[in-house]
Amino acid sequence: MLSKKFTDAVEFARSAHGEQTRKGTEVTYLSHLLAVAAATLEAGGDEELAIAAVLHDVVEDTEVTVAELVEHFGERVARIVEACSDYTGDDPSAKPPWIERKQGAIDHIATADDDVLIVALADKTHNAMAIADGSELAGQEYWDRFTASGPETLWYYRSLLEVFDRRVSGERTARLAEAVARIDQVLAQQMAVPSS
């Protein structure tokens, strides 16, 4: 059963993320956070994991600090959110390059605890599904929204899938595997078609 604490977390995330939208769309960012929370609950996560799922990007993408999360939602939630963030520094200009941050995320998932695995798998699966959908619909220009190219993005999600497959049951990684296969297929089709 979810309590008012979960509702408070949703409001905290909504306020912190403000007018942010999903990359290159008009879709509110909160939709991603709620999808990740739903997937976390469906994977057997408890309320604190669902709260961490709703808040998983708040430190990375807003001015909220880990200390604030500890104060409002406790140590466990703050620890999971910090572990799911690829950058938690105060200075966005000091953020390491994309490839370093993503390799760090892959390496971290290889040894992360079960709490982090549940939330991270839900997050990465939802992101990969959105990328597969978007790239199928928008074509080659879709990749202009991202820091990384299509092939780099595919490398990242393939690498994540390999790590998740080693750490959790294949049943739980099936949707991520489907999304990675779709991204791979779309990129192969786009590379086969000369750009206009």
> Which residues, other chains included, contact 72 with Cβ-Cβ below 8 Å and sequence gap of 6+?
8, 12
- Report the alpha-carbon distance of residue 193 to residue 181 in Å, rounded: 19
Q: Is 61 annotated in the active site?
A: yes
| R_g of the chain computed on alpha carbons | 17
Question: Which of 8, 46, 47, 60 is an active site residue?
Answer: 60
Q: Where do we find the tokens 């992360």?
A: 112
Establish whether 60 is a catalytic residue.
yes
Domain that includes residue 56, residue range: 4-192
In single-letter form, the type of residue at position 52 comes to A
Tens place of pLDDT for every residue, the chain, 196 residues? 899 999 999 999 999 999 999 988 899 999 999 999 999 999 999 999 999 999 999 999 999 999 999 999 999 999 999 999 987 777 767 888 999 999 999 999 999 999 999 999 999 999 999 999 988 888 888 888 888 999 999 999 999 999 999 998 778 899 999 999 999 999 998 877 655 5
* CATH classification of the domain holding 23: 1.10.3210.10
The CA–CA distances, whole Å, from 161 to 28, 97, 117, 125, 149 equal: 27, 22, 12, 9, 18
Residue with tokens 């999360």: 69
Q: Is 88 left (phi over 0), alpha (psi -120 to 50) or beta?
A: alpha
**Count: domains in the chain:** 1
Q: Which of 8, 46, 47, 61 is catalytic?
A: 61
Q: Which H or E run includes 120?
A: helix 114-138
Q: What is the pTM of this model?
A: 0.92
Q: Say how far apart CA 19 and CA 189 lie, in whole Å.
A: 34
